[in-house]
């Protein structure tokens, strides 16, 4: 079973829910938690485990071999991303723009653009008892998050038995990084705030999940602030509301220090237990 | 013309609420640009009239013409994104997986593959309640190319500013450090980092600051909810000092932010006390700082 925790709006509690849920569940059975918010990975502040290994993530990009090149310009013609440019007597490759499609390289009549690997991020594996934690991290300056997300998911697939529960802490938004993090999961929890910003971005996230034909439920974080529009929306749209995490300043303070709310705040622990019960009723968890 | 970009690294630090308040304080001297195109929320506070709307086309997806296709499978062989599916009696492209590289179209011996340009969203020019213009956008569901849409919003905001003789563009950016953020930073004169004193907030701000340094941009910092952890707030303060980031303000944890948003108002319309004063002072400071840089 694979569960992703996502949200349209940033800062609604994805990491809080992912880390606390993973930690609670790992007291019952083994769990893999993967931080796929690779642009700004934060789960590691809350899960303190023993570091098992670190693996660099590479992307393949073409590298110009001047000696072989006859400057025919075919590479520039086939590249749809303006990543390969012929400038005078030179071929320039812009790494950031390259999508790694291999067209320029494989269609070069002189083999003058062999593909080489290029580091774009890393994956770190930690272990805390029965909680296996993977952090995907994009190097600063790299624009494309998707390759690192993909590699982190692949790492989890290869390393852990298929029967082990996987929880993904997804990136915010509604574009390609979120799609990559959620497209192959079995269930998605959308977490939101009961505010106009929260609701508006939640609706966008719901549209994405429906487009992907995914099964999903909603958790309200900071329940008590704002208004009841999110609850009404869930009813109108017949989306299961699987939990409400109360709004408490102590939660913000505990989060600030990297503390797990389930450990120190009984009200929040109860809310999380209830989410687990609801996931069982929905047969997302056994 | 000056362009001020507001970003945060981490989401949910109050970036949009603060930007909307600044938009009101700037009045009709500034053009507002909402570049958080994935989750554009500023319109919920600024009452745009959506008076000008245009479709945004960017990127291509491969489509196989089944009449022309000879089922040789070459397209599937060259695709690095597993976007070509072999079905019982045909080959098809899964649009969600297609990157638009056109490698398949290039090698198809039957010329059966068309690259179709994608409508990935809409962009708007609106009048907002402060009697100025806002350029904003809505990214299509699950669309990629958000960086390109950000670039479009910024370009149009610049055009509007030129046409209306305004000398300031105020940009609300997106969270993260990826392509939409990079795109919103290009051409900026001054960057404001809105952060919160949490381990995550500080960590994310440092990463986005590294990105700002790559672009050699000057920046200032607002610490929102500073009293949630005074110790980390101090560390952020020190970080700013060491790295020549202007410290603009500390804002206390205050649920008035949410209350104002729930009423569809900016802080300065909703609150006539402490928060509004801090934001007014901050805005004055920002204008002075952008003049001096």
* Paired tokens of A69: 């090149």
- Taking the CA atoms of residue B252, residue B258, residue B263 and residue B266 in that order, the dihedral angle to the nearest 10 degrees is 40
CB A69 within 8 A of CB A107: no
Statement: residue B291 has pLDDT above 90: no
Collect all residues of chain B within an 8 Å Cβ-Cβ radius of residue A255: 198, 200
Statement: residue B143 has pLDDT above 90: no
Q: What is the DSSP string of B4-53?
A: EEEE-SSSSSSHHHHHHHHHHHHGGGEEEEE--TTS--THHHH-----EE
A80 shares a domain with A15? no
Nearest CB partner across the interface for A45, out of B16, B176, B200: B200
Q: What is the pLDDT of residue A48?
A: 86
Q: What is the pLDDT of residue B293?
A: 66
Would you call A79 helix, strand, or coil by DSSP?
Answer: coil
pLDDT digits (tens, 9 = 90+) for B16-31: 999 999 999 999 999 9
The domain defined by B58-119 folds into Alpha-Beta Plaits (3.30.70)
d(CA B60, CA B83): 13
Statement: residue B173 has pLDDT above 90: yes
Cross-strand bridge partners of residue A115: A62
- Which residues of B, range 216-255, sit inside 8 Å of A by Cβ? 225, 228-229, 232, 253, 255
Statement: residue B39 has pLDDT above 70: yes
Strands (E), chain A: 2-6, 31-35, 50-62, 84-87, 90-93, 115-128, 131-138, 165-169, 187-192, 216-223, 241-246
* Cα B104 to the center of its chain, rounded Å: 33
A52 shares a domain with A33? yes
At A54, give phi and psi (nearest 5°): -130, 135
pLDDT digits (tens, 9 = 90+) for B45-83: 999 999 999 999 999 999 999 999 999 999 999 999 999
In a domain, A286, yes or no: no
Q: What is the mean pLDDT of chain B?
A: 96
> Which residues of chain A register pLDDT less than 50?
none
In a domain, A195, yes or no: yes
Structural domain boundaries of chain B? 2-47+128-292, 58-119
> Directed axis angle between helix B199-214 and helix B230-242, to 10°?
10
d(CA A96, CA A100): 10
Domain count along chain A: 2
Residues across chain B: 293
In a domain, A149, yes or no: yes
User: What is the complex's ipTM, to 2 decimals?
Assistant: 0.93
Domain limits for position A105: 64-113
Identify the CATH number of the domain in which residue A97 sits. Answer: 3.30.70.20
Cβ contact B141–A226 (<8 Å): no
A166 shares a domain with A215? yes
What pLDDT band is residue B232 in, cutting at 50, 70 and 90? very high
* Cα B266 to the center of its chain, rounded Å: 19
**What DSSP state is assigned to residue B245?**
P
Cβ contact A175–B146 (<8 Å): yes
The domain defined by B2-47+128-292 folds into Rossmann fold (3.40.50)
* Paired tokens of A63: 């590298």
pLDDT digits (tens, 9 = 90+) for A39-64: 999 999 999 899 999 999 999 999 99
To the nearest whole angstrom, how far is the Cα of A277 from the nearest Cα of chain B? Answer: 28
CB A25 within 8 A of CB A253: no
The answer to whether B12 faces chain A, any CB pair under 8 Å, is yes
d(CA B59, CA B241): 42
C-alpha closest to that of B39 among B132, B131, B173, B129: B173
The answer to whether A62 faces chain B, any CB pair under 8 Å, is no
Collect all residues of chain A within an 8 Å Cβ-Cβ radius of residue B101: 80-81, 99, 101, 103
CB A30 within 8 A of CB A164: yes
Q: What is the pLDDT of residue B292?
A: 77
């Amino acid at each position: 079973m694979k569960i992703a925790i996502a949200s349209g709006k940033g800062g609604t509690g994805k990491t809080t829910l992912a880390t606390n849920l993973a930690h609670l569940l790992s007291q019952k059975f083994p769990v893999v938690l993967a931080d796929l918010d690779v642009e700004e990975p934060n789960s590691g502040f809350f899960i303190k485990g023993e570091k098992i290994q670190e693996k660099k993530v590479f992307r393949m990009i073409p590298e110009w071999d001047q000696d072989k090149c006859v400057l025919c310009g075919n590479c520039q013609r086939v590249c749809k991303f303006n990543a390969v440019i012929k400038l005078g007597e030179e071929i320039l490759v812009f790494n950031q723009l390259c999508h790694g499609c291999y067209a320029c390289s494989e269609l070069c009549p002189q083999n003058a653009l062999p593909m080489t690997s290029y580091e774009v991020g890393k994956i770190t594996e930690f272990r805390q008892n029965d909680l296996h934690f993977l952090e995907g991290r994009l190097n600063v300056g790299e624009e494309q998050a998707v390759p690192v997300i993909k590699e982190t998911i692949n790492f989890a697939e290869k390393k852990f038995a298929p029967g082990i529960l996987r929880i993904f802490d997804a990136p915010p938004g509604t574009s390609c990084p979120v799609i990559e993090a959620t497209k192959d999961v079995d269930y998605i929890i959308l977490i939101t705030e009961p505010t106009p910003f929260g609701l508006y971005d939640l609706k966008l996230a719901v549209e994405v999940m429906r487009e992907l034909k995914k099964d999903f439920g909603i958790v309200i974080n900071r329940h008590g602030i704002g208004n009841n529009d999110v609850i009404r929306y869930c009813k109108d749209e017949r989306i299961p509301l699987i939990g409400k995490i109360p709004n408490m300043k102590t939660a913000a303070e505990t989060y600030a220090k990297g503390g797990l709310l389930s450990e120190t705040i009984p009200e929040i622990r109860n809310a999380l237990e209830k989410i687990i019960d609801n996931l069982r009723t929905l047969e997302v968890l056994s | 013309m000056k362009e001020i970009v507001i970003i945060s690294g981490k989401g949910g630090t109050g970036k949009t609420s603060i930007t909307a308040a600044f938009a009101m304080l700037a009045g009709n001297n500034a053009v507002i640009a909402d570049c958080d195109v994935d989750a554009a929320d500023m319109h919920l506070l600024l009452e745009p009239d959506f008076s000008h709307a245009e479709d945004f086309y960017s990127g291509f997806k491969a489509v196989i013409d089944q009449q022309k296709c000879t089922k040789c499978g070459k397209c599937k062989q060259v695709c690095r994104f597993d976007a070509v599916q072999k079905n019982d009696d045909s080959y098809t492209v899964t649009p969600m997986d297609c990157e638009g590289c056109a490698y398949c179209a290039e090698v198809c011996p039957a010329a059966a593959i068309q690259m179709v340009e994608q409508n990935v969203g809409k962009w708007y020019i609106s009048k907002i309640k402060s009697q100025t213009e806002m350029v904003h956008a809505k990214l299509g569901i699950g669309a990629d190319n958000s960086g390109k849409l950000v670039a479009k919003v910024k370009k149009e905001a610049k055009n509007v500013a030129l046409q209306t003789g305004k000398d300031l563009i105020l940009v609300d950016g997106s969270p993260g450090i990826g392509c939409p953020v990079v795109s919103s930073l290009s051409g900026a004169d001054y960057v404001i980092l809105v952060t919160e004193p949490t381990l995550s907030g500080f960590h994310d701000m440092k990463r986005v600051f590294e990105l700002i340094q790559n672009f050699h941009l000057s920046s200032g910092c607002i610490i929102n909810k500073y009293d949630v952890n005074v110790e980390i707030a101090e560390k952020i303060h020190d970080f700013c000092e060491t790295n020549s980031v202007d410290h603009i303000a500390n804002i206390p944890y205050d649920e008035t932010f949410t209350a104002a948003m729930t009423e569809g108002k900016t802080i300065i319309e909703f609150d006539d006390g402490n928060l509004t004063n801090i934001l007014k002072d901050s805005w004055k400071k920002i204008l002075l700082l952008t003049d001096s840089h």
